[in-house]
Structure 1
Amino acid sequence: MKKKLQLLFCLFLGGCTGIPGNLAPIQNFEVNRYLGTWYEIARLDHSFERGLTDVSAEYSMAPNDTIRVVNRGYSVQKGKWKTAEGVAKFVQSPNIGHLKVSFFGPFYGSYIILDIDKETYQYALVCGPNKEYLWILSRQPTLDKHVLSQLIAQAQAMGFPTEELIIVPHTKK
């Protein structure tokens, strides 16, 4: 019985760092170009960001080839900033845009870069372990409407429920 529970637990955790069917992370990923601040332009709603505006993420190198992740968003309801610090690790190799991120000890979730502006790393399309998690990120608090429309269309073609996307306002400094 104990071995079955361990296997079930491993399968559950493995599912959290998996890739949604028929999708693939970007290849030739350059982590040093990805480091720095990214602003959340749009997202699918989920409990850990519900009600937050002005959401950003700061990525920096940490010991042991890990990446420090600091997510920040403003809670309008509480009238204050909410910050979460975590760590990201590459699932396969540093040149594949598939990482696992943890904000809660040994529990990791997938962070899959599906597309990126390969020339300047100015915008990215990112998902989680399934199609319930999707983010459109930009180096600036706004993103050209044409680029945003293209990314939304791309996500829709991949099977994400883009009609449920929340456009994230950025009004705080």
Structure 2
Amino acid sequence: MRFASVLLSAVLLAGCTGSKNVDDAPSTVGHVDLQRYQGVWYEQARLPMFFQRDCVRSEARYSLLDNGSIGVLNRCETKNGEWKEARGEAEPQQPGSTDRLWVRFDNWFSRLFPEMTKGHYWVLYLDQEYSVALVGSPDREFLWLLSRDIQLDASTRQRLLDEAEKRGYDTSELIWRGEGAEI
């Protein structure tokens, strides 16, 4: 429950971060085949953020739901080896657009204030095999480097870093999978 509350706080902050110049927003992939995108993604790196401050390893499981949205299950392992999880749903920010989603986690606050608790989930880069991806927010405060495999080889890691930097993200503060918790 505490993990879900912390995630809610982050989603609230992410949902409120759209005030910067939209013309300066990073480019996205244009289209995501959600059927191929579903499944398990392992977080390889992220920018520091409050709601993942205790996480040393994280993963996300996405599944298509009957209502057309995407089910989200985020799991996080802490330094103590404890697993925490949060469930939510994602939906396109604009009908028919699959690369810019709103994510909302299921808790009492989001049920009371659904429009206030949406966070940006922009797919910035996705390889043809759907094996690695960059996901971030348009204000560049949030960034995740994701892969289908638990570990990345050096060339794939560098490709993701290059793609993130091309889109204006500061990668010098990335926290890599297995590194200590922050904040």
TM-score by length of 2: 0.77
Contact 2:58–2:74 (8 Å) recurs in 1: yes
Partner of 1:82 in structure 2? 84
Partner of 1:111 in structure 2? 121
Contact 2:26–2:124 (8 Å) recurs in 1: yes
Contact 1:19–1:110 (8 Å) recurs in 2: no
Residue of structure 1 aligned with 2:59, choices 33, 53, 56: 56
Sequence identity (%): 35
Within a 5 Å distance, the mapping from 1:117-136 to structure 2 comes to 117-118=127-128, 120-136=129-145
Q: Aligned Cα RMSD in Å?
A: 2.2
Partner of 1:102 in structure 2? 104
Report which of the two structures shows the higher radius of gyration computed on alpha carbons. Answer: 1
Structure 1 segments unaligned to the other structure (5+ residues):
1-11
Structure 2 segments unaligned to the other structure (5+ residues):
1-14
Change (3 A) 1:132 1:13: closer
Aligned length: 156
- Structure (1 or 2) with the greater helix fraction: 2
- Structure (1 or 2) with the greater strand fraction: 1
| Distance in 2 (alpha carbons) for counterparts of 1:94 and 1:137 | 23
- Tell me the secondary structure at the aligned position of residue 24 of structure 2: coil
Q: How far does the alpha carbon of each residue in 1:24-43 deviate from its partner, in whole angstroms, 9 at most, with x for none? A: 22123200000000000010
Change (3 A) 1:169 1:99: same
| Further displaced range: 58-67 or 106-115 | 58-67
Contact 1:30–1:95 (8 Å) recurs in 2: no
1:29 has 2:32 as partner: yes
- The structural deviation recorded for 1:72 is 0.2
Moved over 6 A (4+): none
Contact 2:25–2:138 (8 Å) recurs in 1: no
